[in-house]
Amino acid sequence: MRKFLNQLDSKNKNAISFVLKLIGLYLLFQGLYDYVISPYTGLDSILINSIISAAEFGLETLGFNLLPKNSFYEYHMGIEGTSGVVIGNPCDGLSLFILYASFLIVFNGKLAYKMVFILLGIILIHLLNVIRVISLAMIVKYYPSSLDFHHSYTFTLFVYFFIFLLWMFRIKLYQKHKI
């Protein structure tokens, strides 16, 4: 291994170092989420309730009547006359925030700009998640048999592609202005 590392030029060493730091930071943050934040705080609940409130507002704005509150499922919402959707902890976007922020923290740039981009990115990812839930509620109404496909593939690919675009925007901005 040492021989391999000695043969690498500085550009390759920097790239490998970046990837290792990114993986390490992501695993650290994800571990904090899995073993501290999720079991001992109400952050997941706050995020899910925020998504539900915004999605319900969006659906009402679009003219839909909503399902009544359900005491059986805590995080259940949807369009009247449908089975609705249940939003679980994995769907609250927190692990996406961790992935997005980990990349920006490890990437070059000034700390103040990193923090601004992290905050703006998290807000955009959260809004995208709200749009995703609105869309899933509409899919349940109009195309219920395709819900699993869209939940598992369409929106997953779309959200990760969006995060990739945010990263690319940050890289391009850094290359141009060194911020």
Report pLDDT digits (tens) over 65-101.
Answer: 999 987 678 899 999 999 999 999 889 999 999 999 9
Backbone angles phi, psi at 76, to 5 degrees: -115, 135
Among 28, 2, 152, which Cα is nearest to 102's?
A: 28
Instruction: Return d(Cα 37, Cα 31) in angstroms, integer.
Output: 9
Report pLDDT digits (tens) over 133-162.
Answer: 999 999 999 999 999 999 999 999 999 999
Q: Are 101 and 29 a contacting pair, CB within 8 Å?
A: yes
Q: What is the pTM of this model?
A: 0.89
Supply the angle between the helices 111-142 and 43-61 in degrees, to the nearest 10.
Answer: 60
